[in-house]
């Protein structure tokens, strides 16, 4: 009897372990165990590096501006035209000295190649164009920053994914089986560009819909389709955001997104809100109006809150996107496949 009980205990114990590992099915008198684990998903993302020249120009602009200020070489204007920098020399400036300084800036210390070429014109304008070496650096930097942003967004949602660079400006993202691929795809490819812009209260919505818009404004919509006439000028970009969190506001009983600026952003936010008390200001993300609060007083604490009838999931996604920063280049999903093992 003791031997029989031991054998039965071993048999039933083994069956319990097998059922715990998956669903048990009978087939031709045999116990077959099938696992219910969902397959992982592999996404291939394409990075659009066609804007490398604009990125290189943007990166070079501060060095050129500050490099001309240090030796007090006078310039009437310095502007970026997208793929080049135009420096307009002031009247009476020693042209030879100015050109010499620009060539010095082009060949930065420790660099193996010039960062930009210097092209003279008949007038006072000197055009600086990024070199192939600068374009290559800009592309590499944009790729690395894109991967960092993607990782940050996935970590913000507590998704344990693998992200690595592949050939031909592509990035491969492997998602775990329990992830929601549709939600994550939307989050990964979203540009994430936040801007604060003033509402044009002088324009009527009906006129804007009819195409009668002031040249300084444009017609945008909220996520619910509500139209707004918004000034094109960005009074404050989202570059200085340091943190964003989703929470439930007990006063209005709905999810909100709270955000915080760094010291430079705090000062700029205080100035912008101080100069526009009483005016409605649009919070715009990727061309969609999230909210239009009215500025009641100068906001000097460097923080704000966005509410717009969000679901908790939408508020979390927005907080993760804002906290991760914008993608430096456009990203699209070009392939998706299931990984069985």
Looking at residue 189, its pLDDT comes to: 96
Looking at residue 36, its pLDDT comes to: 53
- Exposure string (b/e) for 137-150, b if CB count within 10 Å is 16 or more? bbbeebbebbbebb
Strand 217-222 to 288-291 pairing: parallel
State CA 130 to chain mean position distance: 24
Residue 126 sits in a domain of what CATH number?
3.90.1070
Asked if 262 and 185 sit in the same domain, the reply is yes
List all residues 6 or more positions away from 198 whose beta carbon is below 8 Å from its beta carbon.
230, 231, 233, 235, 276, 279, 280, 281, 282
Asked if 82 and 121 sit in the same domain, the reply is yes
Which residue is listed with tokens 């939600």? Answer: 183
Asked if 301 and 264 sit in the same domain, the reply is yes
Looking at residue 19, its pLDDT comes to: 38
Looking at residue 110, its pLDDT comes to: 59
3-state secondary structure of 238: coil
148 lies in some domain: no
203 lies in some domain: yes
Asked if 243 and 163 sit in the same domain, the reply is yes
Domain that holds residue 30: 2-34
Residue 319 sits in a domain of what CATH number?
3.30.1360.200
CA distance 80 to 54: 9
pTM for the model:
0.79
Digitized pLDDT (tens) for each residue of the chain, 341 residues in all: 443 333 334 434 443 433 344 434 444 444 444 445 678 899 999 999 888 888 999 889 988 888 888 777 888 889 987 789 999 988 888 888 888 889 989 987 556 788 999 998 778 899 999 999 999 999 999 999 999 999 999 999 999 999 999 988 999 999 998 889 999 999 999 999 999 999 999 999 999 999 999 999 999 999 889 999 999 999 999 999 999 999 999 988 999 999 999 999 999 999 999 999 999 999 999 999 999 999 999 999 999 999 888 999 999 999 999 999 999 999 999 999 988 76
Cβ atoms of 257 and 249 within 8 Å: the answer is no
Number of residues that this document lists for the chain: 341
Q: Positive or negative, the Cα torsion across 300, 316, 231, 65? A: positive
Asked if 10 and 107 sit in the same domain, the reply is no
CA diameter of the chain? 113
42 lies in some domain: no
**Would you give the DSSP letter of residue 158?**
T
State CA 205 to chain mean position distance: 30
Our count of domains for the chain comes to: 3
CA distance 18 to 29: 16
Asked if 253 and 225 sit in the same domain, the reply is yes
Asked if 172 and 122 sit in the same domain, the reply is no
Looking at residue 322, its pLDDT comes to: 94
CA distance 244 to 264: 17
Phi/psi for 51 (5° steps) reads -95, 20
141 lies in some domain: no
Asked if 203 and 60 sit in the same domain, the reply is no
């Amino acid at each position: 009897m003791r031997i029989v009980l031991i054998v039965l205990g071993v048999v039933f114990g083994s069956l319990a372990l097998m059922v715990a590992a998956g669903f048990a099915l009978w087939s031709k008198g045999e116990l077959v165990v099938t696992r219910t684990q969902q397959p992982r998903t592999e996404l291939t993302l394409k990075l659009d590096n066609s804007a490398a020249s604009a990125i290189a120009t943007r990166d070079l602009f501060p060095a050129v501006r500050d490099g001309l200020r240090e030796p007090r070489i006078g310039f009437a204007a310095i502007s970026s035209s997208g793929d080049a920098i135009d420096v307009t020399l002031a009247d009476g400036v020693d042209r030879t000295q100015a050109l010499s300084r620009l060539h010095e800036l082009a060949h930065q210390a420790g660099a193996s190649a010039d960062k930009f070429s210097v092209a003279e014109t008949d007038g006072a304008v000197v055009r600086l164009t990024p070199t192939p070496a600068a374009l290559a650096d800009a592309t590499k930097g944009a790729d690395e920053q894109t991967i960092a942003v993607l990782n940050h967004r996935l970590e913000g949602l507590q998704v344990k994914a693998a992200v690595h660079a592949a050939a031909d400006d592509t990035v491969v993202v492997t998602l775990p089986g329990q992830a929601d691929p549709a939600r994550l795809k939307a989050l990964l490819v979203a540009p994430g560009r936040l801007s604060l812009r003033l509402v044009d209260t002088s324009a009527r919505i009906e006129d804007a819909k009819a195409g009668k818009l002031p040249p300084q404004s444009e017609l945008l919509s909220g996520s619910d389709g509500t139209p707004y006439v918004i000034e094109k000028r960005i009074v404050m970009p989202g570059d200085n955001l340091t943190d964003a969190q989703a929470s439930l506001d007990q006063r209005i009983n709905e999810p909100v997104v709270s955000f915080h600026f760094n010291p430079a952003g705090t000062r700029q936010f205080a100035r912008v809100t101080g100069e526009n008390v009483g005016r409605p200001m649009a919070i715009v993300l990727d061309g969609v109006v999230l909210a239009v609060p009215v500025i009641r007083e100068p906001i000097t604490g460097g923080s704000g809150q966005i509410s717009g009838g969000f679901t908790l999931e939408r508020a979390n996604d927005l907080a993760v996107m804002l906290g991760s920063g914008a993608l430096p280049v456009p990203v699209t999903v070009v392939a998706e496949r299931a990984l069985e093992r």
